[in-house]
Amino acid sequence: MKTTIKIYFTTILFFGTLLSFSQTGSNQILERTTIKSFNLQSSNLVGTSYINDNFLPAKLVDGEEIYSMRYNAYEDVLEVDRAGKHYYFSPKKLNYPITFIGSNKTYQAFSYDVNKTTSNGFFVVLNKGKNIYLLLKEKINFYEEKKAESELNKYKPPTLKSAPDTFFIGYINNKAVKLPRKKKSFLKLFSSKSKDVENYIYKNKLSFKKKEDLIEIFEYYNSL
């Protein structure tokens, strides 16, 4: 029988009231739940579902309250630890960017299409402009164990592994689309400034497929 991951979660309580954040003038529901956890039939799991296993200090971008948080890239939720009790921010709640204080890394929820279905998910904000954002989608996939069939096809344990970086463009209406891979389509993103951006890319020998170069390109565009 194949080793499978069974993901169990039991909702213990939903707050009946909204938690107020005075700095933002907004309200947010923190959902209290047991964290979705792995119940393995095998103890050989390799990898983690978290970008960072540790809970780290984070806060709403315009808020004051500090949370201990970590990003579960397999489940696509931001988990919160409060005095040993677990809560989470769901990506269903848009317009509440979360920044990790030490790294200044910001997560924000956008809606995007997955297999022709619209979903909400958290993205890392690499650059924020007046009209568009440069976003990174972090994803961790699960691969089931593979039994040894021969000396050539050896046993492989169940594994959680990071997927390759995927870049998106975010818009002020909280919609996100994949970054175009063709140069012509990529340059169209910058409309009337496309020629300036193209010249800047050529002059500085930048690639629109590399993270650091993309950040530089968008920083330049937003300076025009």
44 and 128 in a single domain? The answer is: yes
Residues 98 and 209 in one domain: no
Q: 102 in helix, strand or coil?
A: coil
Specify whether 79 is located in the same domain as 164.
yes
Note the pLDDT of residue 20. Answer: 33
Give the pLDDT band of residue 161 (cuts 50, 70, 90).
Answer: very high
Q: Please tell me whether residues 11 and 112 are part of one structural domain.
A: yes
Please check whether residue 115 is in contact with residue 108, taking contact to mean a CB–CB distance below 8 angstroms.
no
Last residue of a domain, one of 179, 199, 216: 179
Question: Which residue did the predictor score with more confidence, 107 or 11?
Answer: 107
Average confidence (pLDDT) over 35-39: 47
Domain that holds residue 107: 5-179
pLDDT tens for each residue of 164-195: 989 999 999 999 999 998 999 999 999 999 99
Alpha-carbon span 175 to 179, nearest angstrom: 13
58 and 140 share a domain? yes
Q: What is the pTM of this model?
A: 0.81
Length of the chain: 224
Indicate whether 12 pLDDT > 70.
no
Q: pLDDT (tens digit, 9 = 90+) per residue, 53-69?
A: 999 999 988 778 898 99
150 plus 50 within the same structural domain = yes
Burial class (CB in 10 A: 0-12, 13-18, 19+), 142: middle
For residue 28, the SS3 value is strand
C-beta atoms surrounding 61 within 10 Å? 14
Q: What's the pLDDT score for residue 32?
A: 54
Render pLDDT for 77-105 as a digit per residue (tens, 0 to 9).
899 988 888 788 878 777 789 999 989 99
Residue, of 94 and 136, whose pLDDT is higher = 136
Residue 38 has pLDDT above 70, yes or no: no
CA angle 219, 184, 215 (to 5 degrees): 20
Q: Are residues 198 and 164 in the same domain?
A: no
Decide if 99 contacts 106 (C-beta within 8 A).
yes
End-to-end CA, the chain: 60
What is the 3 state secondary structure string of 116-148? CEEEEEEEEEEEECCCEEEEEECCEEEECCECC
- Report the C-alpha gap between 168 and 85 in whole angstroms: 34
* C-beta of residue 30 within 8 angstroms of C-beta of residue 11: no
- Given this model, what pLDDT does residue 65 score? 85
Q: Does residue 67 sit in the same domain as residue 118?
A: yes
CA 177 and chain centroid, separation: 14
> The tokens 């009231």 sit on which residue?
17
- The pLDDT confidence band at residue 4, using thresholds 50, 70 and 90, is very low
pLDDT of 100-116, one tens digit each?
Answer: 998 999 999 999 998 88
Token pair of 218 as six digits: 């968008």
Residues 65, 96, single domain; the answer is: yes
One DSSP character per residue, 180-224 reads PSSHHHHHHTTGGGHHHHHHHHHHTT--TTSHHHHHHHHHHHHH-
**Residue 50 confidence (pLDDT):** 92
Does 52 share its domain with 132? yes
The C-alpha torsion from 176 through 166 and 107 to 132, rounded to 10°, is -40
Give me the number of domains the chain comprises.
2
CB neighbour class for 192 (10 Å; exposed up to 12, middle 13-18, buried from 19): exposed
